[in-house]
Chains A and B, each alone.
Chain A
Amino acid sequence: NAGVTQTPKFRVLKTGQSMTLLCAQDMNHEYMYWYRQDPGMGLRLIHYSVGEGTTAKGEVPDGYNVSRLKKQNFLLGLESAAPSQTSVYFCATWRAPTQYTDTQYFGPGTRLTVL
């Protein structure tokens, strides 16, 4: 039972390049989230999904796109990377937020540097 995995763990891009971050979960959770973490700013929500085939914008969606074609996978795409997108990206899953004793489960993160 791997939980939440993220690929890749590290990546360096040049400005203007594109890439896709993959989040995979084996817990059969409905909700999936992409956050970015920057120094002194905590975690900010980029996009989220409440189920297979659905996606929605979070607080800081500009410059990112997402897809949830399969329940277990949530992809985050950068079409044209910018230095401002240098950050640590975390994926999280949640079984069903109405289960109040439950919590979000986080992946190990992807450290992205855009030069």
Chain B
Amino acid sequence: SQELEQSPQSLIVQEGKNLTINCTSSKTLYGLYWYKQKYGEGLIFLMMLQKGGEEKSHEKITAKLDEKKQQSSLHITASQPSHAGIYLCGADSYLIQGAQKLVFGQGTRLTINP
């Protein structure tokens, strides 16, 4: 079965600094999703990557999928307090009868210090 490993598990950065979160898969990724979760709330979809070498950006957040499609990174530039939360990566996985689900990494808890 597919497993996703996120690193680091927790991260504390000074406001204004850049940071990177990594997500490594045990198998080839066919669809990689990044979500953000604010403490005590649901998951908010950030971006989805499919193709090797693909890169997407939204505001100050950039996500990349490596050429071999086994690792993704999420980079935040000039971090702000609003970036604080838990970041999760999820990957397409197949269930029986062709149904699909997402397999998730364990999450990275990001704290932004003023």
Q: How far is the CB of B36 from chain A (nearest CB, A)?
A: 11
Is A45 in contact with B101, judged by CB distance below 8 angstroms? yes
CB closest chain-B residue, reference A109: B42
Q: Is A108 an interface residue (CB 8 A)?
A: yes
In the complex, A56 Cα to B101 Cα: how many Å?
A: 12
Is A40 in contact with B9, judged by CB distance below 8 angstroms? yes
Size of the B side of the interface (Cβ < 8 Å), in residues, is 27
Q: How far is the CB of B55 from chain A (nearest CB, A)?
A: 16
What are 22 inter-chain pairs, A to B, with CB distance below 8 A?
Answer: A31-B99, A42-B105, A43-B90, A44-B104, A56-B97, A90-B42, A90-B43, A94-B100, A97-B92, A97-B99, A97-B100, A100-B31, A100-B48, A101-B48, A103-B33, A103-B45, A103-B48, A106-B35, A106-B42, A106-B43, A107-B42, A108-B42
Interface residues of B (CB under 8 A from A): 4, 9, 31, 33, 35, 40-45, 48, 50, 88, 90, 92, 95-97, 99-102, 104-107
Interface residues of A (CB under 8 A from B): 4, 31, 33, 40-45, 48, 50, 56, 58, 90, 92, 94, 97, 100-101, 103-109, 111
